[in-house]
Structures are given as structure tokens and as C-alpha cells.
Amino acid sequence: MDRILRGKVWRFGDGISTDHITPGRYYHLRGDLKALAEHALEDADPEFARKAQPGDFVVAGKNFGQGSSREHAPLVLKERGIQAVLAQSFARIFFRNAVNVGLVPIICDTEGFETGDEIEVDLEEGRVQNLTRGFERSFTPLPPIMRAILQALGKEIYVEDEDALDMATAVSGTGPTYVFLMMEALVEAAVHLGFSRRVARELVIQTVLGSALFARESGRHLAELRNMVTSPGGTSAEAIYQLEKGGLRTIISKAVWAAYQKSKLLGEMSSKKGLRSTSPLESPGIPTEGLEKRGV
């Protein structure tokens, strides 16, 4: 992802929900992101659905992305080629999902921006320049971990079966939660052994990072990689024995299945709710406070 982003603005107000971004009446298209993206934000601005171009920006007011927790909303904006969403505040779950799928969310003062303005965003310096109107806004750059996720998400996988989107949500969309929990547990175990929390955290991060990079670059089956680093009768073998004895695989499988079922349920609820027309000034679904109040 480039450090400097430049493009034109599509301006929206407060309370833009996921139902405005992906209207529920098109829920049957959720397996075809390209088709679903043709209707993005059409209830809030029909012109956007017809004329938005790759490289454009969405600029909004408060609580952008409130409502459903499903990832279709940021996915369709990314499918339309939107580089970033600038808003005074975001629904917490939308913000997280946007980062997960590679759509840049920026919290900043959006007063004064209008549709058609040309802007330039410096992601590292935390600066937005309105080249049309001649003013500048500052923002707090995303934390390094979020920038790393956005940098890593260069590959998109398209699926024909709409059910695969729920499966992807359970595996990939929710995946960082599984990884962070495992990392947290490793840090706590290292602290219990006697490491300082700072050293334990760095050890775990480097271990996970190195393992992921090796798995990607080697192209080998994960079981083969595990066997490569597991000596018979060694420390890894003993640790794996305890993990298997504790039912780690079963627990992970149950967690992914539960996330999958939840994703399907939320989708069905969103579909039923989205059958009615809503105004951008309404707050359908469960309102979520902005990130500047609750944090990520």
C-alpha cells in the first residue's frame, strides 16, 4: 500500500450504517461482491452507486458503519476501489473489519469536505490535504500492527458460493482473534517462566511472525513444517502431546464452527431488517459508539 493516497471525495453525513452501504434487499448477491458493489451506498447517494471510481474516497461524519458486524460493508467499498474512508468516528466493529479486509479507515475532522473535492492523504505523517479548497486536516496514524495488516492484505480471494463468505468470515475475518488469543497465552506462559512482559511479548511476536513468513515462503504442508521442527522425544514433542491431550484441535474446530453459525445468523437478521427503506439519518441496528470514545 502506498504511503500517499490521492483521489476524489464522496461526501456523506452522520449515521451511515452497514444497511446503507450494502442494502439488505440485495442480500441474495452476497456471494457476488462485484454485483453487490454496484448497489453500494445507493440509498444514501444513488450517484455513488453509478459513478464512484477506483481511487475515490468516502468521507463521512459520525459513527460510520454502525449496525451489522458482517464484513460485506467494507468489502464492497474495497471492491468499488475506494482507497480509504475518512470519518469523524467509526462503529468499532466496522473499523476492525475494514482493517481486516484491507480498507483504510481514518478518524479525522471531516468538516468542510464536499463531493468532488480532490484530496491527498499521507498515511505515515497523518495528514489530509484538501487540494480543491486549500485546507489541511491532521489525524493520528494507524498503529504499526494495523498498518502491517493493511500492507499484508494484497491478495483477494473471490468465491462463487455465497455460503463461502460466511466460512471466510469464520476463518479469516475472525482469524486474528484466534491468533491474538494464542499469542496472549504464550506471553502469559513466558511471564510465568520468569521473563519480563516486554521480553515475553517480543519473543512471541517474532516467533509468530517468523513462523508465518516461513509457512508462506516454503509452500509446504503445515504438518510437514511442524514435523521439521519437532524432534523425537524433544521439547516440541512434549509440548504438542500436551496440546493434543487438551483437545486443542477440537476446541479450534468448535470455535470456527460457532463463528460460522453466528455469521449466518447475523446475515439472516441483516437481510430481514434491510427489507425496509431507511434514511441515512436513522440508526438501524444496534448503535455503536465511535472509536474515539471506546477505542479499537
The closest alpha carbon to 22, from 291, 221, 285, 198, belongs to 285
The 3 state secondary structure assigned to 51-116 is HCCCCCEEECCCCECECCCCCHHHHHHHHCCCCEEEECCEEHHHHHHHHHHCCEEEECCCCCCCCC
- 11: three-class secondary structure by DSSP: strand
- 8 Å CB contact between 229 and 211: no
Q: In angstroms, rounded to a whole number, what is the distance separating the alpha carbons of residues 113 and 58?
A: 10
Q: Report all structural domains of the chain as residue ranges with CATH numbers, in order of start.
A: 4-146 (3.20.19.10), 157-273 (1.10.3730.10)
Local confidence pLDDT in tens for the 296 residues of the chain: 678 999 999 999 999 999 999 988 887 887 788 888 899 999 999 999 889 999 999 999 999 999 876 678 998 999 899 999 999 999 988 998 888 888 899 999 999 999 999 999 999 899 999 999 999 999 998 777 666 666 655 455 555 555 677 787 788 778 888 999 999 999 999 999 999 999 999 999 999 989 988 888 888 899 999 999 898 899 999 999 999 999 999 999 999 999 989 888 876 765 555 433 333 333 333 333 345 343 33
Q: At what angle do helices 92-101 and 72-79 cross, to 10 degrees?
A: 50
Q: At what angle do helices 197-218 and 175-193 cross, to 10 degrees?
A: 130
- 8 Å CB contact between 20 and 278: yes
- 8 Å CB contact between 88 and 109: yes
